[in-house]
Every structure is written in C-alpha cells, then in structure tokens.
Chain A
C-alpha cells in the first residue's frame, strides 16, 4: 500500500433501520416538514413525496403530516442534508402560487358575472351546395378553398353549426346546474382571492392556508360528485377521497394522467409527451431524460407567444416552472434535469430586454441546442476519450446496469481493437443490464452477464469497474442507480479500481451522506412481482397490509472512499476534486456569455499544469498548485490537468480547465502497474 497516502478512515457502510414512515404530506412545494421530535435523538427522515399526483391536488384531503414515533421512522445518525430534496430546491422550481393556480382545471373558472359574454351569432345554414359559396356566406369559414387533390370525392365545406364563445362557459354552465359543483366553484374563487393576500403571509401561514383550502376543496368536490351522481365518473374518481392516504400511487397515476390528456391544456404537448414517457418508463437514464426534456422545452418555446401585457422573461419563466412541476408529477427530476432547468432559467433571466420576442426565442433555442451538444454529447465524447486510456488489452471490465457513457466507452474501446472482456452485472427489477448486454453482444464484444448476487464471486477476475452516475455530489458521493454502491464497495474490498463516468453537468453542490435522506421511490409493485413467475405471488395484495411497506429505492449514494476516479469532460479527477469541477460548471452554466467550447478541448499539453483539488487541511506536496487560492490540493491524488485559458467577456479571470492531460492514477492503479 502506498505509504504516502494518509490513512483515512473508510466510512463503514451505514446500517440503518429502514422501517415505516408516515406518508409525507403532498405539500405543494414538496418541502419536507421539519418537525423535530423532542423525545428522540434520532431525526426522522421524510422521504420526499414520490409524486404530487394531480389527484392529490384535486381530491385528497390529507391530514397535516404527522410523523409517527421516532423508533419506527427511518433514522440517520448525524447526517447533513444540504440543498434538500428534489422538490425543495426552491430556487430551481419555485413553488406554485396557490392551489388554485396549480390545479389544472381551475384555470377555466374565470371570475366575473354571468353576463359578461355574448354569443356569437349561431350560424345555421344549409350545408354547402356549391362549396365555395357556402363558405363565403359564413363568417367563420376561415378555411381555404383548396381542392382536395387526387381524390374522387369532392371537397366539402364545413358549416359552423354551433360556436363556443367563451371556453369556460360550458363547464361553468354545467357547474351552475348542480349545487355541489357550485360550491366547488366558490371555493376556487376564494382561493383566487386569497392569492392576493398571500404575499404578506409567512410561509407557515401559507402552508396552513393551503392545507385548509385543499381540505375544503376536496370536501366540496366529494359533495359535488355525490350530488351529480355518476355522471362525471368518466374521468373523476369519486371513491378516491374516502380511501386512506395511499402509500404509493404510481400504478394509478398513468391511467389518470392519460385520461386527463385534454384537460391539461396548459401543458405543451411536447412536454406532456416527455412526461408520459418518463412516467411509463419509456425513457430512462438521466442523459436521455434530460435531452428529452430540453427538446420538449425547445418545442414549447418555439410555440410560445408572449401574452399581451406580459414580459417574456417573467412569463416564460413561470411557464417553464409549470412545465417542470408537471414533469415532477410524472417522475421526480433527476439532478441532471435540475441543472439543465437551472441553466435554462438563467438564460431566460439574462435575456437582454432589447431583444425582440422572436430573437429571444431563437437565442434560447440555440442555447438549449448548445447545452445538449456541449454538455452531453461532446462531454460524452471527451469522457470516452479519457476513459478509454484506462482500458488495456486483457482487461476484464465490470459494469453495472446501463449507463450511456459506459456503453459508449466500451464500444469505442472495442472499435479501437482493444482486447477485453466485459462483465455486466444486473439486478432486478429493472434489468437494464440486459439492454446493454444485447447491444454489446451485437457488436461482438465478449460479455459475461450475471446478477448482483454473484458479485463477490465474479469480482476476483475483474481488473476495472466502470460505473455510470446520475449525479456526483460535492463531497464526492456518487449518486447512481441502486446497487451501484454495493458494486463499488465490493470492488473496493477486492482492491479493484472503480472509475465513474459522469458528465460535469450532472454535478451537484449538495452533500448527501446516505441514500435514504433523499431518493426516489419506485413502484413497489415491481419488486413484489417477479416477471415470468406467476407462482411467486406471496406479496400479492400487499397494499392492504398495514404492517408491510415495500421499499423500492431508485438511487443510492456511494461514498467517495470507494471511488478511485471520476471521469468527466474536464478530465479524470479524484472524487475529492469534485467541488472544483462543480464550481467551474456552475460558473460555466450561469455565466452571461459562456464561450467555452468543449469541442476545442485538446488532449495533450495546452498550458501549464494545474491541479484541481478541494480544500483539505493537510498540505504535503509542493508540486501541486491550486487553481484558486482557497482551494488546497490533496496529496495522494496528485495529477496534472491541462489548463486552457479562456477569455471571459465579463472579465472573470476564472480558469476553464481543458479536459485531458496526463492524469495520475489512483494509488491502487499504480500498484497494479508495479505488479505488471
């Protein structure tokens, strides 16, 4: 073992009680209630609500969150949660204004008297005798008289037989018809009124108000449903309100959301499609999800028109926020998506006021385009270029699950003619390793496929572990698909270097010490069922069991101690250097004129050697220079990185680091080299 390496206590894998916890309240902002338990020293952890189902917003009257006794709640010892959970990072996703504005249906109820609309003359006329003539006589005949070509059927003209003047009218009339609904309407008006008052109230008051309103609304709604009989049961679920708060609603969410397809007309179709694809699992992987989201936003921005008497910057930001909250409803955002949204919002906020609407939209469009190209596609290319240098002939590489970066890396290495073997470790329930396996085998790589249970056996022969990541947190913790931590830990105990491939845009400033404090809950149904094994049905009907809680975590956190190296588009860095990259990336994303071209990064020496390293107390080596004064290098992970100086138009003298350069390997790797 390298003696220079300062002995660092490897954090033991934390063993925690994962027990029962109260279903968190579906708060609007997603803020976990910070209710301290005085009697217990353990702080209960609320897993953030998996989704704000619109059902909740509309129908559910949930009691204010009550935390069950400390003993039975999930406990962590001394964990620091910075930043917060998905929903709570409020600077990313500002909380919706009020229940009224966030519940989709309510926007149709426009306040005001009944007499404020006038009917357009209802044109009833004989349907087109001579096509053109008929159309000319109708005021609404806005259709061109193009002849349908290549058809034997003469084109027919449309006759407007009934016109809706005010789109809210129909619904309003129906609501008037039955009293129950009428009260719901009033409730909504009330909410709208309270919106003005809102500004002066404190956060806590607002929350209380919201809660009360939601309860009242749900009650009114339930009444309304009763009063109107079964008429509305086509898409409303009257029985919902009486059910006890459900632990998980994923199963019912997709049909619900699909049924509401046309009701949610505030959501752009492209965004809606992306959301549905997240929800149904058609798109997975944080890169793909991020790209899908950004492309949806591109479409939405293209179709966006600034409403009269509004400014683009504010209105578009609000619009994007509403889209984001819809996407969250479908599936919690990944950190990469959060970063991308942050980027987009910064770009919107920094749009010069002098730009016209179309110029602004074009600018945003190209910004998104550039983000996708630079931060994801080129970044992946650079990552592959770096990481492939770590693959040598005769290697046995192990990967877990499906990571787009790792897949590209393996295929690239294969294209270069390197001789190596791949072991794909997979786990239920997603079994995405199979997808990777299929594609690798198709390309002619020699693969071994195994389940995670066999990991300790297979690890003997492995020379390197390549993993993907959903995010890398600033303490070097790798936040990735569940099971990654297990793989990394076993590899660590077998002294196999673990390399994590992660684009820099996925880095996040928050710190998370374990997997439970912020995570996404998957559908518990999928772990209770085994595909193709109908006979394994011991857990059928589990939802009715009071004392059973199935836990299907989607992500886990791997402590940095088990990670040898992180491969990013800035080069290969040890996990301790993450804050530097994170800072660079942050500046890059939020800078006004960002001119960094990832594509121009060159491998090789483009400048003086610099080192990225986080602040660390001990300073032993002199050959390392911190990029910034406050950052102190860490000795045992010394490495050089080419630096590329870029002109920052705003005069920032920050240093953008070119990717590539020589990279010192982790001690273990050096050790291996010696062995070789």
Chain B
C-alpha cells in the first residue's frame, strides 16, 4: 500500500460491444493489442508507477479464471495481483461493492482494465491528495473523429457517435469538476446546477474531453455512497455524477467536519485552539470556490462541501479505452504507429516489428507501422500495411492486408484481400476472400471467393 493507495483494476468480463472479438476464452481483458493482452498495458503502467499490489476484478468466473491464469503466468514475481470474480452485469459500482471489504487504504485508485495509456498515474494520485478531494477523475482529450473513423468499422458506430457526447464542466482553473453528463443524459438541454455555477462563478463546458475511467476515490466516501445508494450501477454514470452534483451540499460526512466532532470530547480550550488552527490553515491556503461557498456571504454559515477534482492529461500523452470495435482498431493502429512506445517492442529501421522467426516469401513487403508475430509465414508477393498479424499465422501468396488486425493461428488463402477488418484467432480464410470493414469471430471459416463489406462474421 504505497502512499496509502490501493489499486483496483476493473477488467470487465465479456462485453457485448466487442462481440465477436471476445468470447468466454478471450474476455475483454485478454483481447490482444499488438499481440499483447490489453490488460497488460494497464498492469505495465501500474508497475511503472511502482504500484505492485493490485486487485483485479473480473466479471464472470470463467473469465476470471482465464485472466488470473494469464496474469500469474506473465507477472509472476513482478506484481502481487489478486483476482476477484464478480457476477456478470453488476456494473462497476457493483464490482467495487463486492470487494469493498478488502479495501482498507485511505484512497482507492480505480483503473479500467481496457485503458491503454502512458499518463503517469502518480500525477492523478498526487492531484487527488493535494486537493484532499473526494474523487479525482482523469480526463484526456477525446479521440478526434475524422481520420480515425475513416477506413474502418461499419456504419453502426458512426450513427451512434454523435449522440455520445461527454459534456464536462470545469472551473476556470481547470482543477475541479463542476458538471458531468454522458451519453444518454444529454438531450437538447444542458442542466447546470445554479448553486454550483454561482459558487464557482464560471463554468467551462468542454465536449472535447473524455473520461478515461481512471479515478481516485476517497475510500470512506466511496464505500458510504455505495452502501447508501444501492441502485447505483456504474461508477461513471452514477457515482461520479452523484458526487459532482452533491459537492456543495455534501451528505457524506467528509472533510474535517467529522474530526471536529471527534474532538468534541476534549476540553473547550483545546477545541477553540483547534478551531483557530484550522482557521489559520484555511486562511492561508488557496481559496477554492468550495471554501468561499462554505464561508458564504456572511462568513458565518457552515456548509459541507467536498471537492471533485480532475487531472487533465497532457496532449502529448496517449490515452484511449478499448470499449468498442472501432476503438480496438484505432488502438491497435496507434500502438504500433504513433504511440509505439507503449507496445514495449523495439521497432526496426523500417519502423515495423517482424519477429525473427517469421518467414516472408519473395517480393513480400511489410510496410511501416506493421507487426508480424512469432512463427508466422507469408507467401510470395504479399503486402501488409499498417496491420498487426499475430503468431503462427499462415498466409498464402498475393495477399493484401491493410489497416487490419489478424490474431493468432489464422490461415489465409492465396489472393485474399483484407482491409480495415479484425480477424480473430483460428479463422480460416479460403482463397480469394475479400473482406472490407468486417469482424470475423474466432474459428470462423470464410468461404473461398466470398466478398464481405461491413459485416460481422461469427459462428452461430
């Protein structure tokens, strides 16, 4: 428990959004990104931050078994990981509820297992500590729609996208979270609480920020909220907005107030000096709008407040969540492309990674920002551009792979063309198959000569 922080990684289970890529055997957390399970990015980030005691919460026992098995194989004697299985569909809040009795530290760092980022976690934690906040959320700039959207994934996502706004209200110093509304809540109108607006004076509404699902919570408050509000399902959609909403009329017994009550038994002199002490400290610390609000216009009223902070990741940091198929393609491309320091591989002079054991046929070209896994074989005259190809794939002659992800043990016949697609493990593509913007589930066999565009192909 370094710095009195405990880390909970919410690895999820088998997400419907990611079908057909995920399955019982490959839950969300183990989905390969550049031939490494996505959870390894989070674990590595945590390890880099010297956080070695982790609790990984997985939805579903099978999934937990797989995730636990993988972590123990890969991180034995590097990390001290404990895996907890929770029933499916309990939501993120439910997951925390289920392990609440294991949480003892002062603050809890909750990280989503599908986060791919290089933001220093310490900075989030430090911001949280510095402000003595109830919750600190990490925000990062939302992926710019446009270039990333072109060339991949079906039209289904596109129609969804405009509705999925994240409206985030910040105070002028960009340190505090004043408003948060996500997805469905946003309709035509934006409702902002008057009291918060009045206290802060000014709210900056941002739509270009994304909640990275990395939170630091004060444990006591988190547990209290989860206990009291049994209906809360999700940290992001229920708990965080609740804390933000109630920041000026805090119901949870929070900062300092409980302390004063505890000290009530002591002598009166001690208490008065205690008050003076806190007065001195409060007077000499930077006034946030919370404190000004507590004082009120007359300086007498005593209201309870708590702080909801944000840490905004710098624009030079990479931060993405693997929560959709679109995001999966994007992240794969970024990890071997512009954010290649995340992949942990060293790139060749051609800016790609070809495993020494991979075999390339004559006149086969592997372009920059590509990755070719261990033991894969490619026939003659193939061309691979901006794609990831997994381990032990057998690729015939004259195959084009562009902007795609091909997982392990995939067999691709001659003259196939794959563009903007995701091919899961053990798929067999027979000759002359043409795939554009498709997702092919594990073990599927694509018949010879078939042409697909924007389809989901999976075993029934």
Contacts and interface: CB of A to CB of B under 8 A. Distances in A.
B90 A153 contact: yes
Contacts of B276: 377, 380-381
Nearest to B7: A262
A158 B71 CA distance: 14
Nearest to B75: A162
B346 interface: yes
Contacts of B4: 269
Contacts of B287: 435
A258 B127 contact: yes
B49 interface: yes
Contacts of A152: 94, 230
B5 interface: yes
B284 A288 contact: yes
A260 B81 CA distance: 22
B122 A258 contact: yes
B12 interface: no
Nearest to B107: A269
Interface string A368-391: 000011001110110000000000
Contact of A377 (B94, B130, B277): B277
Contacts of A155: 98-101
Interface stretch (A211-219, A277-285, A480-488): A277-285
Given A161-B82, A261-B126, A283 B120 contact: no
B98 A156 contact: yes
A257 B80 CA distance: 25
A261 B78 contact: no
For the complex of A and B, list the 6 residue pairs with the smallest distance between their C-beta atoms, beginning with the closest.
A261-B122, A288-B284, A230-B341, A259-B120, A158-B82, A285-B284
Interface in B52-71: 52, 55-58, 61, 64-65, 68-69, 71
Contact of A173 (B78, B95, B277, B285): B78
B83 A158 contact: yes
B125 to A, nearest CB: 5
Interface string A256-295: 0111111101000100110011001111110111011000
B149 to A, nearest CB: 27
B298 A442 contact: yes
Given A164-B52, A439-B299, A150 B341 contact: no
B121 interface: yes
27 contacts: A127-B64, A144-B101, A150-B227, A151-B97, A151-B230, A153-B90, A158-B55, A159-B84, A162-B76, A162-B80, A163-B77, A164-B78, A169-B78, A173-B78, A258-B120, A258-B123, A258-B130, A261-B125, A262-B2, A262-B49, A263-B50, A265-B50, A276-B129, A291-B280, A292-B281, A442-B297, A442-B299
A454 interface: no
Nearest to A303: B4
Contacts of A258: 120, 122-123, 126-127, 130
Given A234-B341, A376-B280, 17 more contacts: A151-B98, A154-B87, A155-B99, A159-B84, A161-B81, A163-B77, A233-B118, A234-B120, A258-B123, A273-B129, A284-B284, A284-B286, A287-B280, A288-B284, A291-B280, A404-B284, A439-B283
A256 to B, nearest CB: 9
B43 to A, nearest CB: 10
A372 to B, nearest CB: 7
A615 B132 CA distance: 50
Contacts of B281: 283, 288, 291-292
Given A291-B277, A292-B281, A153 B97 contact: yes
A444 to B, nearest CB: 10
Nearest to A146: B101
Contacts of B120: 234-235, 258-261
Contacts of B410: none
A126 interface: yes
B72 interface: yes
A583 B303 CA distance: 45
A428 to B, nearest CB: 17
A578 B339 CA distance: 62
A162 B87 contact: no
A249 interface: no
Contacts of B197: none
Nearest to A372: B277
A155 B100 CA distance: 8
B51 A127 contact: no
Interface of A: 119, 122, 124, 126-129, 140, 143-144, 146-167, 169-170, 173, 229-235, 255, 257-263, 265, 269, 272-273, 276-277, 280-285, 287-289, 291-292, 372-373, 376-378, 380-381, 402, 404, 407, 435, 439, 442-443
B122 A263 contact: yes
Given A258-B120, A265-B3, A280-B130, A162 B72 contact: yes
A288 B280 CA distance: 6
A165 B277 contact: no
A119 B94 contact: no
Interface size class of B (residues with CB under 8 A): 35 or more
Contacts of B227: 149-151
Interface string B124-148: 0111011110000000000000000
Interface string B281-294: 10111110000000
Contacts of B230: 150-152
Contact of B5 (A262, A280, A283, A404): A262
B78 A377 contact: no
Contacts of A146: 101
A522 B172 CA distance: 24
Contacts of A260: 120, 122
B50 A119 contact: no
B102 A231 contact: no
Given A159-B82, A282-B285, A439-B283, A261 B118 contact: no
Contacts of A263: 49-50, 122
A439 B71 CA distance: 56
A474 B57 CA distance: 62
B344 A231 contact: yes
A73 B105 CA distance: 52
B418 interface: no
B72 to A, nearest CB: 4
Contacts of B56: 161
A40 to B, nearest CB: 43
B85 interface: yes
Contacts of B78: 162, 164, 169-170, 173
Contacts of B284: 283-285, 287-289, 402, 404
B334 to A, nearest CB: 14
Contacts of A127: 58, 61, 64-65, 68, 83-85
A163 B99 contact: no
B101 A143 contact: yes
Nearest to B82: A158
A163 B80 CA distance: 4
A446 B159 CA distance: 61
Interface in B38-56: 45, 47-52, 55-56
Given A169-B77, A263-B122, A282 B98 contact: no
B273 interface: yes
A173 B57 CA distance: 27
Nearest to B132: A273
Contacts of A158: 55, 82-84, 99, 102
Contacts of B64: 127, 159
A259 B123 contact: yes
Interface string B160-191: 00000000000000000000000000000000
Given A170-B47, A234-B118, A156 B85 contact: yes
Contacts of A287: 280, 284
A93 B132 CA distance: 29
B286 A282 contact: yes
B130 A276 contact: yes
B79 interface: yes
Centre residue among A156, A165, A372 by max chain B CB count within 10 A = A156
Nearest to A443: B299
